[in-house]
């Protein structure tokens, strides 16, 4: 299968994220464009989307999957990110390598299981390695079984578990080292344009 990906600049990408998040009814707090701009404006970041044709006869192309990542620094002034760095203390090496954080990402229901998220992840890895990132981290919760299974398939390793009284709410932190072997494992045929 061929995958059609777009890498967006900040302003347009933020609007696209706001648009696509409306399709995810299970997300408690959807991100709006202003929040996205605020988080990404002063840090290295990537906004990637996959597009596909609607399964009707219209030929309309729509965004179906997205992945947003940004640099995570050892010292963060943003309170949420400073908290994240603190929680990762002892599990991630921040001093000797650039660390990428997978902030947002999902695939619309009707397009799941077709490799869209793998294609975005592979493209992100190409970009991240070219920019000198050594490791990519992500956090999720026990209850997101689909995401956990996906991260497993994409060869992320669990680096920390923060237990909660409700096990479904326990937070799981995972990472993947971006060594040379990572690119060899890529399989999707990707067509990438910059919007």
Ligand X SMILES: CC(C)(COP(=O)(O)OP(=O)(O)OC[C@H]1O[C@@H](n2cnc3c(N)ncnc32)[C@H](O)[C@@H]1OP(=O)(O)O)[C@@H](O)C(=O)NCCC(=O)NCCS
Give the footprint of ligand X on this chain (CB under 6 A): 65, 105-107, 112-118, 140, 144, 146-147, 149-150, 153
- CA dihedral (120, 125, 126, 127) in degrees, to 10, reads 90
Report the residue number whose CB is nearest to ligand X: 149
Which helix (H) or strand (E) segment holds residue 165: the answer is: none
Nearer to ligand X, 111 or 133 (CB): 111
Nearer to ligand X, 93 or 152 (CB): 152
Q: Taking the complex as a whole, how short is the minimal distance between the CB of residue 40 and ligand X, in angstroms?
A: 18
Q: Taking the complex as a whole, how short is the minimal distance between the CB of residue 93 and ligand X, in angstroms?
A: 24
Q: Taking the complex as a whole, how short is the minimal distance between the CB of residue 140 and ligand X, in angstroms?
A: 4
Tell me the C-alpha distance between 69 and 67, whole Å. Answer: 7
User: Is 62 in a helix, a strand, or coil?
Assistant: strand
Dig out the tokens for 100 from the structure.
């990428």
Instruction: Write the DSSP assignment of 70-132 as a string of letters.
Output: EEE-SS-SSHHHHHHHHHHTTTS--SSSEEEEEEEEEE-GGGTTSSHHHHHHHHHHHHHHHTT
Nearer to ligand X, 40 or 119 (CB): 119
Nearer to ligand X, 50 or 92 (CB): 50
**Tokens 């000198």 belong to residue:** 132
Q: Taking the complex as a whole, how short is the minimal distance between the CB of residue 75 and ligand X, in angstroms?
A: 26
Dig out the tokens for 88 from the structure.
């990762």
Q: Taking the complex as a whole, how short is the minimal distance between the CB of residue 60 and ligand X, in angstroms?
A: 19
- CA dihedral (35, 67, 44, 13) in degrees, to 10, reads -60
């Amino acid at each position: 299968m061929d995958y059609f990906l777009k890498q967006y600049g900040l302003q347009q990408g933020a609007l696209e994220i706001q648009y696509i998040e409306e399709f995810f009814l299970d997300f408690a707090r959807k991100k709006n464009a202003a929040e996205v701009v605020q988080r990404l404006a002063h840090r290295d970041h990537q906004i990637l989307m996959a597009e596909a044709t609607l399964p009707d006869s219209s030929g309309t192309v729509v965004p179906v999957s997205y992945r947003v990542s940004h640099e995570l620094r050892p010292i963060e002034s943003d309170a949420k990110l400073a908290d994240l760095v603190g929680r990762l203390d002892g599990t991630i090496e921040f001093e000797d390598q650039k660390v990428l954080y997978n902030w947002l990402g999902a695939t619309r229901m009707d397009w799941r299981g077709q490799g869209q998220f793998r294609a975005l992840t592979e493209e992100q890895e190409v970009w991240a390695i070219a920019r000198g990132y050594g490791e990519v981290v992500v956090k999720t919760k026990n209850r997101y079984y689909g995401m956990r299974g996906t991260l497993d398939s994409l060869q992320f390793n669990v680096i920390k578990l923060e237990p909660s009284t409700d096990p479904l709410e326990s937070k799981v932190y995972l990472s993947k080292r971006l060594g040379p072997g990572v690119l060899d494992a890529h399989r999707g045929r990707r067509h990438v344009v910059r919007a």
